[in-house]
Amino acid sequence: MEQDQEKPANGAASRHVKSEHLAKGKWIALNQITYRDPTGKERTWEAVERTTRHSGDTDAVAVIPILKRMLKCDCVILIKQYRPPLNGYTLEFPAGLIDKDEDPLECAVRELKEETGYTGIPKHISPGVCLDPGLSSSTVNMVTVEIDGDVEVNRRPLPEFIEVIPVRMDTLLDTLNEHAKNGLIVHSMVYTYAVASAQMAKPKKIVP
Ligand SMILES: Nc1nc(=O)[nH]c2c1ncn2[C@H]1C[C@H](O)[C@@H](COP(=O)(O)OP(=O)(O)O)O1
């Protein structure tokens, strides 16, 4: 069935008009944004903004930590923590807000050490990527960090108070599904990473 849609559907023609705080706390603000859609019609949108952003254009980093050990399967290091907005425990990549004057790569290494006890070397950084664009302006840099599990500093990592869960890469998707069945809420970044990794690991179909 055809739906009555407004034209043109080119999002680039939309533009911001103004933003007003509806409420503001220490960590986040609730804004009402007024914008003009591509037809020229003025509309509003309610959105969450982090109040903690410094000079950069991202709020936080999320770390994809890959633990490599001699003769052992690579693992991705996840953390389990209580998240008040969900009133539940999540399985996430280590992550954290970027401090004032802090470089996102430094932030990634610091957050990884604080949350998991591991010391790693950044191998890749994403541009600012959004998390939940219908809800919030919050963006992160995703930093892939390699951890050499055979060096002394990483043999007995001491995390602060967060539960650290290393998961073998070759069983990541199954392990996440198992945790989800048992009540953990898996972060969408982690789940997407697992689905993509599982697809990559599948043998290629050979067309004769
Ligand atoms: N939305 C938030 N509400 C809060 O009441 N407190 C918050 C919010 N976001 C961050 N924080 C606090 C909690 C921590 O004390 C600090 C630093 O958080 P950080 O470790 O950098 O990030 P998370 O790992 O995602 O908590 O900010």
Q: Kindly report the number of other CB atoms within 10 A of residue 111's CB atom.
A: 23
Kindly state the helix (H) or strand (E) to which residue 157 belongs, with its residue range.
none
Cα–Cα distance between 204 and 149 in angstroms, integer?
31
d(CA 142, CA 43): 32
Distance, in Å, from the CA atom of 62 to the CA atom of 189, rounded to the nearest integer, reads: 9
Instruction: Find, among 23, 69, 57, 55, the residue nearest to 169 by Cα.
Output: 69
Determine which residue's CA is closest to atom 23 belonging to ligand 1. Answer: 96
Residue to mutate (ligand 1; options 26, 27, 109; most atoms within 8 A of CB):
27
- Amino acid letter at 98? I
- Give the Cα separation of 45 and 161 in Å (integer): 38
Q: Which of 152, 59, 67, 161 is nearest to 114 (CA)?
A: 161
User: pLDDT digit string (tens) for 80-97?
Assistant: 999 999 999 999 999 999
* CB of 82 shorter than 6 A to ligand 1: no
* Residue reference for tokens 């990592």: 157
Say how many Å lie between the CA of residue 122 and the centre of ligand 1.
Answer: 23
For ligand 1, atom 8, the nearest C-alpha belongs to 27
Number of neighbouring beta carbons within 10 Å of residue 10: 8
- Rounded CA-CA distance 199/47 in Å is 34
Half-sphere exposure for 205 (CA within 13 Å, toward CB): 2
89 phi/psi in degrees, rounded to 5:
-95, 140
Q: Whose CA is nearest to atom 5 of ligand 1?
A: 27
- Dist CA 130 CA 133 (whole Å): 6
ipTM value: 0.92
Distance (Å) from CA 105 to ligand 1 centroid:
19
Per-residue pLDDT of the chain (208 residues; tens, 9 = 90+): 333 444 455 545 899 999 999 999 999 999 999 999 999 999 999 999 999 999 889 999 999 999 999 999 999 999 999 999 999 999 999 999 999 999 999 999 999 999 999 999 999 999 999 999 999 999 999 999 999 999 999 998 988 789 999 999 999 999 999 999 999 999 999 999 999 999 988 887 788 7
Instruction: Please give the distance, rounded to the nearest whole angstrom, from the Cα atom of residue 204 to the centre of ligand 1.
Output: 43
How high is the pLDDT of residue 12?
59
Structure token pair of residue 59: 């709020």
